[in-house]
């Protein structure tokens, strides 16, 4: 009988812990959602700023992109030759 009582207490303890975890997750969900919305808004704003900069300076942007590509190519090809 003692094992049965102990098992019941363990089950109740586990239910209590699961409820606590669910409560914590439920409490954190709005904050996580807000953080995700803030991150999305900042990413969209940064993307718009990039588009404006590229439109204002197309030649400089092209030169930077080609130079970066060449640098990455050179670093990768150097590593594969070793």
Per residue in 17-73, pLDDT tens?
999 999 888 888 888 889 999 999 999 999 999 999 999 999 999 999 999 999 999
What is the predicted pLDDT for the residue at 82?
A: 60
Segments in 1-82 forming alpha helices (H): 2-56, 58-81
Predicted TM-score of the model (pTM): 0.53
From the number of C-beta atoms within 10 Å of its C-beta (0-12, 13-18, 19+), residue 55 rates as: exposed
* Token pair for 11: 């089950």
What is the DSSP code (8-state) at residue 1? -
Residue 78 is predicted with a pLDDT of: 86
């Amino acid at each position: 009988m003692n094992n049965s009582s102990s098992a019941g207490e363990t089950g109740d303890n586990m239910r209590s812990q699961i409820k606590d975890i669910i409560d914590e997750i439920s409490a954190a969900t709005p904050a996580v959602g807000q953080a995700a919305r803030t991150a999305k808004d900042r990413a969209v704003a940064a993307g718009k700023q990039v588009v404006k900069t590229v439109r204002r300076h197309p030649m400089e942007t092209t030169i930077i992109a080609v130079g970066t590509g060449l640098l990455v190519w050179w670093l990768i090809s150097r590593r594969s030759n070793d």
